[in-house]
Chain A
Amino acid sequence: MHDNYWDSAILEPLRRFTDQALNFLLHNFLAMLVVLLVGVLAAYAVRIVVSVVLRLLGFDRFCEKHGVGGALAGAGITLGPTGVAGRVAFWLVMMVFLILSLAALDIAPMNDLVSRLFVFLPQLLAALVILVLGYVIGVFLQRAALLAAVNAGLPRARVLASTVHILVLLFTVAMALEQVGIGRNVVLATFSVAFGSVGLAVALAFGYAGRDLARSVLERHVGGADREGLGEISHL
């Protein structure tokens, strides 16, 4: 009676668990590792192929010609357009194999997660693209605002430029979050209220406190002569 109880209550479950664990390790986990390894190799192969093909096609020259290289450099990305494309291709392939490796584990809750990840992947990619583009555009507009403000002699040009940058980033993050469906309404409402508030604050500040400044700016820009306040000097 005592032996039966020991067998059925302790040893049998332990044996089943050991069998399952060994089975899991030898099949599912090993399969996951193999998928991951294949994924790394495939990702590297894709990265090399993409880099070589783009180099042969003169992708760097094309991007330089159209200002993309400069925009990347301006945003602090030093890899060059081909390098960036290679890395993006690498991580895209890696992401697919990472999800496949999770599927290889064959765990019921994980299978559900994997299928949802596959559905979610395009939205995630779109959000990433939005974030990257937003960052590049934000840096471009920040610099453009800084140059325009300094050349117009506006005080605190850097603050103005940083404000432009932050607004673009906020807008980008709101778009990216909307893309992945996180707090869609809350994000949009918050962004709309924040953007509208800033606009209203600027309008009120300009209208009440800066009427004279506004008049002089408009007079300089529309009035014709001596718009820059430099006196009787002509450039051409």
Chain B
Amino acid sequence: MDDDDTAALSPALDRIGRADLVVGIFSFNSARAIGHVVEAAVAGVSAYYPGTSCVIVNADGGSSDGTPEVARRAARDRCPVLAVGDSLPPSYALAGGYAGFPGPAGSLRAVLQVAERLEARACLLVDGDVRAMAAEWVQCLADPVLRDGMDFVAPVYAGHRYEGMLTSTLIYPLTRALYGRRLRQPVGGHFGLSGAQAARLLRCGVWKRDAPPLLDLWMATTAIADGRRVCQAHLGAGRGGSRRAAAGLVAAMTGVVGTAFMLMGERRPVWWAVAATDDVPTYGRSHGMGLDPVSVNVDRMVSTFRQGVSELMPVWRRALDPETCGALAALEEEGTPEFRFPPDLWARAVYDCAAAAHRRALPFRHVLGAMIPLYLGRAADFVLRTEAGGEADVEAEIEEGCRAFESLKPHLLRRWDAPRPQPTGRSE
């Protein structure tokens, strides 16, 4: 990756000189949605920040359906549209194979470089696939930065109760317990950054890595761990249409959880000392949770968990505490309606896996693969406990999970540097 991804844009950037707001729109074969996204962005800027200079940067991953042209046409000369781009990983093009931020590292870096070059006060990052984007989202993401001096704005999407299950049961509780900030959705496709934060991110070493982490979780964790001013903003239904919403479980687990574990290794001095959590400022009003009945195959989840107990126990023993293994084995006998996977057992299992990944008790991807039946067991319990309840019940279940992660953090501290468990002699 070159150091400056925007060299080709230099004449255009020189012409523009400065801009208050840079909106980076990430796309890949998004011709059907990006016109609407650009319209919403332009409308949002003119409605909420009249007189403010704005530049749209379309970071395209090599679309073959004319996405950049659609984006340029949609702006209709109301706002300069610059095109940057870095080729996407092949998995992005595969159905459901990509769980990452909607754009590769090179594209994000190019957008941040444009923001720095134009001395932007705020930089918004937007998923070009999400047709639900409204003009108000510009205000939701930019206002905290422009008016209140926030450095990082994360989205809070509305959706039905089982949207973002991995985020609700693992990423949010883990991030909250580790770093002490209650950022509800650290993964997403829409973010707001201050110009200073964009410049700071550019100085990070992540861009030189062969395998960069998932960029949204990395941006959120970096902002929190570095003590920046972090907040969240209610956006409404924003997951629909995004490619990552359709990401398969394996892709989600290896991508997002893998990044969370990797960042734990890098940020240990920060989270080791955190003992309490506090809220982050929240902007906008909650759009509520969809409570319409949804079809979830709980039997399939429970059967995968049980198959894990019966066939993966020798693998789990390498990663998990013996007490955790014993408690998991005890869950195997329960029938589906009575099935319970308590949040504290889930928190212990996640912490054990994080420590096992850190100590290389198993290859990294094997740790993440071994977590899938555990996650499905916890998700089944979550569904069984909330399917008849309302929004408050769902939120209470999420909160109970968070409390379990917080109260069991000493278990993580004990396990983090514990010696590698010796093989028991039982074959896998």
Which residues of B from 295 to 324 have beta carbons under 8 Å from A? 295-297, 300-301, 303-304, 307-308, 311-312, 315, 318
| B291 at interface by CB-CB < 8 Å | no
Partner of A231, one of B99, B296, B360: B296
Contact present for A147 and B162 (CB under 8 Å) = no
CA distance A205 to B163 in the complex (A): 39
| B260 at interface by CB-CB < 8 Å | no
CA distance A67 to B301 in the complex (A): 31
CA distance A232 to B399 in the complex (A): 22
Over the window 133-156 of chain A, the binary record of Cβ atoms lying under 8 Å from chain B Cβ atoms (1 yes, 0 no) is 000000110111011101101000
| B184 at interface by CB-CB < 8 Å | no
Contact present for B300 and A236 (CB under 8 Å) = no
Closest CB of chain A to B246's CB: distance in Å? 7
CA distance A222 to B307 in the complex (A): 25
Over the window 176-210 of chain A, the binary record of Cβ atoms lying under 8 Å from chain B Cβ atoms (1 yes, 0 no) is 00000000000000000000000000000000000
Chain B interface size, as a band, is: 35 or more
Known: A234-B162, A236-B166. A142 touches B428 (CB 8 A): yes
Contact present for B160 and A147 (CB under 8 Å) = no
Which residues of B from 275 to 301 have beta carbons under 8 Å from A? 294-297, 300-301
Contact present for A224 and B165 (CB under 8 Å) = no
Contacts of B252 in A (CB 8 A): 235-236
From A10-18, A72-80, A99-107, the one touching the partner chain is A72-80
| A69 at interface by CB-CB < 8 Å | yes
CA distance A142 to B363 in the complex (A): 13
Contact present for B167 and A236 (CB under 8 Å) = yes
From B7-15, B103-111, B368-376, the one touching the partner chain is B368-376
CA distance A236 to B189 in the complex (A): 11
| A9 at interface by CB-CB < 8 Å | no
Contact present for A153 and B369 (CB under 8 Å) = no
Partner of A222, one of B95, B294, B296, B425: B95
Contact present for A150 and B373 (CB under 8 Å) = yes
Contact present for A147 and B303 (CB under 8 Å) = no
CA distance A139 to B366 in the complex (A): 12
CA distance A151 to B369 in the complex (A): 8
Over the window 204-236 of chain A, the binary record of Cβ atoms lying under 8 Å from chain B Cβ atoms (1 yes, 0 no) is 000000000000000000111101111111111
Contacts of A148 in B (CB 8 A): 369
Contacts of A143 in B (CB 8 A): 315, 362-363, 366, 428
Contact present for A140 and B369 (CB under 8 Å) = no
| A157 at interface by CB-CB < 8 Å | yes
Contact present for B366 and A236 (CB under 8 Å) = no
Contact present for A157 and B297 (CB under 8 Å) = no
What is the number of residues of chain A that contact chain B, defined by CB distance less than 8 Å?
37
Partner of A73, one of B244, B248, B369, B420: B420
Over the window 377-404 of chain B, the binary record of Cβ atoms lying under 8 Å from chain A Cβ atoms (1 yes, 0 no) is 0010001000000000000000000000
Contact present for B363 and A140 (CB under 8 Å) = yes
| B164 at interface by CB-CB < 8 Å | yes
Contact present for A71 and B95 (CB under 8 Å) = no
Closest CB of chain A to B221's CB: distance in Å? 16
Contact present for A230 and B428 (CB under 8 Å) = no
Over the window 81-124 of chain B, the binary record of Cβ atoms lying under 8 Å from chain A Cβ atoms (1 yes, 0 no) is 00000000000000110010000000000000000000000000
| B423 at interface by CB-CB < 8 Å | yes
Which residues of B from 50 to 90 have beta carbons under 8 Å from A? none
CA distance A44 to B162 in the complex (A): 62
The 20 sampled A-B contact pairs (Cβ below 8 Å) are A67-B360, A70-B361, A70-B363, A73-B318, A76-B423, A143-B363, A144-B369, A150-B308, A151-B372, A151-B373, A153-B307, A224-B95, A231-B296, A231-B297, A232-B295, A232-B296, A233-B165, A233-B296, A233-B379, A235-B247
Chain B interface residues (CB < 8 Å from chain A): 95-96, 99, 159-160, 162-167, 187, 239, 244-250, 252-253, 256, 294-297, 300-301, 303-304, 307-308, 311-312, 315, 318, 360-366, 369-370, 372-373, 376, 379, 383, 420, 422-423, 425, 428
Chain A interface residues (CB < 8 Å from chain B): 64, 67, 69-71, 73-74, 76, 78, 139-140, 142-144, 146-148, 150-151, 153, 157-158, 161, 222-225, 227-236
